[in-house]
Amino acid sequence: MFRQGNAVKKSNFETSTNFQSSNGLEIKIPVPWGHVAGKWWGPTNIRPILVLHGWQDNCDSFKRLLPLISQDVSFLAIDFPGHGYSSRIPDGFYYHSMGYVVLIQRVVDFFKWPQVSLMGHSLGASVAFLYTIINPQKVDLLICLDAVKPITEDGIINTNSEKISTLMHYEKLRRENTEPQAYTLEEVKQKISRFLDGSVAYEHSHHLVERSVAPSKSQPGKYCFTRDPRLKITDLVNWRQKDLVPGARSMQCPVFVAKATNGFHFENQKYVHEVADALKESGNCEFHVLEGTHHLHLNNPEVLAGLIIKFLKQYDKSDRSVGGIKNEMVVCDQHKL
């Protein structure tokens, strides 16, 4: 059992002997509707960086990146509700980005962190961005991977009727206890690697499999995706660009942004550039363009890890002695296919 220690702060990069293997330590955090699952990488006796994955991914998308950085700094990567091993939200509700923002506060309150450090990919980056502009004094650093801000979607009202109908459809299937389509593990890996136009390289798709599927109840030898289908319904309302730009300009913490050369553009790029320019005005924003796809942190993490390490060495100055792991979080039984 890993125990919470009383760290004596000399440096945020002082190595602790209390760290796990490259697979991370499985954890659970209680929330009102169940639990949030995740993994802890690095020393367990200091406050970690909270890591947030992308849409329909899970915390194992960071499985190749975080072990490259976590010998001297900790990371807590969680599965968002409805993803991975985390509980789904109650029936009758739908997923919204602000629900994830509130989840960050639940995690902060659970640990009683005086401040929070955030890293996010895609959806996770936009959620971390939102939390930071809402709580600028609570965030000591922000790392965004191939996304910076929530989508400012033109004409969203025109698509809401279809989204609501789709939500009702998925709720009906759940009431009827209809099992999702089943696949072989090879088919699962192929589907993951084809998602978002091949963003995840096939040779790394297996890292996302374990937390994405469970054995089919009706077709032996096949597997069903376990993520909540309601996740496919994107936000019914949007943040306004005129709020996001001044929010970015008012950020007080250091910001690291990495964009992939073959990443995704989910909206008109003028909105992204406006926010990026506002972040640069703060004077403590690093902006990098790296070779790779939207999942550059999974496909080719080595260069990215080196840049993040340099960023942390320069800007990670906050006290991390309060907020290490709690005994009741640790899950002894690991999930296996």
Tokens of 226: 């376990």
Q: Which residue has the tokens 């109908």?
A: 165
What gap in Å lies between CA 291 and CA 250, rounded to an integer?
30
What gap in Å lies between CA 89 and CA 5, rounded to an integer?
33
- Please tell me which residue in 87, 117, 122, 212 is annotated as part of the active site: 122
Specify whether the CB–CB gap between 27 and 167 falls below 8 A. no
What gap in Å lies between CA 294 and CA 265, rounded to an integer?
9
Catalytic residue at 70? no
Tokens of 2: 């890993």
Closest Cα to residue 256, out of 306, 199, 200, 201? 306
Q: Is 321 exposed, middle or buried (0-12, 13-18, 19+ CB in 10 A)?
A: middle
What gap in Å lies between CA 35 and CA 87, rounded to an integer?
6
Looking at residue 22, the DSSP 8-state letter turns out to be T
Question: Which residues are part of the catalytic machinery?
Answer: 122
